[in-house]
Amino acid sequence: MSGLVPRLLGLALTVNTPQLAAAQQAALTAFAENCFSPFLTAETARTKIAGPGIRLDFYDLEPFSAAAPSPVTGRAATAGTDRRCEVAFDGDSGPIAANTAVTALAAEGIETEAALPKTHADAAIAGTTLLAARRLNPNRVAVVHTGTRRGPNGAETFLMVERLTPEASRR
């Protein structure tokens, strides 16, 4: 655990970008520090991630802990997934979002590449800055997607990680 703290401190410095507003920096940091945790629950996500200017879409149908499942409350679940953690905020910061996600993956030691699963083959949109699959363990794959898209107030930056079910991870 002690090795993780310096990496997260370094991550916070990477995310601290002067041209971003405080809410945008908070969203990037919240994604990096929380969305890759297998123990994140909907309640913890609301406490640690959601805030002014930050939109959260979270579900976990098969928690790794003893916590109760967190139902789908935002967009419909992507076929073949049992967990989503998505953070979005106003503005066009797609490249910074991609850098944040890559840095967070490295900080968590999630670096083994996997083929992009069929469930996400058509996920790329015009504003995509990162769409990649990483092996979480021998039985699970996660897909990370960042970029910009049209949001409720114009351009919106998003960072998302979806965990595939064991069955979908084998395809």
Structure tokens of 50? 């959601």
Query: Which 8-state DSSP code applies to residue 35?
Result: T
Give the span between the Cα atoms of 23 and 61, in whole angstroms: 29
Residue 151, beta-bridge partner list:
154
User: What pLDDT, in 10s, does the model give residues 96-154?
Assistant: 999 999 999 999 999 999 999 998 999 999 999 999 999 999 999 999 999 999 999 99
The residues, ordered by sequence, that sit 6+ positions from 69 with a Cβ below 8 Å of its Cβ are 60, 61, 62, 63
Distances (CA, A) of 148 to 20, 27, 110: 15, 14, 23
Query: Which 8-state DSSP code applies to residue 62?
Result: S
User: What pLDDT, in 10s, does the model give residues 45-96?
Assistant: 999 999 899 999 999 999 988 889 999 998 999 999 999 999 999 999 999 9
Q: Where does residue 110 rank: exposed (0-12), middle (13-18), buried (19+ CB within 10 A)?
A: middle
Please choose, from the candidates 168, 22, 10, 38, the residue with its C-alpha nearest in 3D space to the C-alpha of residue 104: 10
The number of distinct structural domains making up the chain is 1
Give the span between the Cα atoms of 141 and 143, in whole angstroms: 7
Q: What per-residue confidence (pLDDT) applies to 103?
A: 96
Q: What per-residue confidence (pLDDT) applies to 66?
A: 85
Domain holding 49, by residue range, is 4-170
Is-contact 161 98, C-beta < 8 A? Answer: no
> What residue has token string 């930056």?
157
Q: What per-residue confidence (pLDDT) applies to 18?
A: 53
